[in-house]
Amino acid sequence: MHLPKKYEEKDNQTFPLLLFLHGGGESGNDINKVKKRGPPVQIASDRGFPIMLLAPQNPHKKRLRDDTVVMLLLD
C-alpha cells in the first residue's frame, strides 16, 4: 500500500486508487517480488505520483487470485 505525500495534509482531498494485480511470477510470500515490476517500481522512484496504490500479493503460486478476497480488500 502506498499513500501520496499529501494524503495526510489535506483532509478533504481525494486521490485515485490504482489496484495493481501482479502476474504469476510474483505470487508467494515475498512481497519484494511485487515491488520489482509495474507501478510499485514507479512509486519507489519517488516521482511524486498523487495516487494511492494497492498491490496485494497472491499467496498461491499455482492458483488464480480469489476475486472475493480482492473485493473485500477494496471495501
Q: Give 50's pLDDT tier (boundaries 50, 70, 90).
A: confident
Cβ pair 52, 7 in contact under 8 A: yes
Cβ pair 53, 20 in contact under 8 A: yes
pTM as predicted: 0.78
Cβ pair 59, 27 in contact under 8 A: yes
Domain definitions of the chain by residue range: 5-74
| Residue 31: φ, ψ to 5° | -60, -20
pLDDT at 14: 87
User: Would the pLDDT of 47 be above 80?
Assistant: no
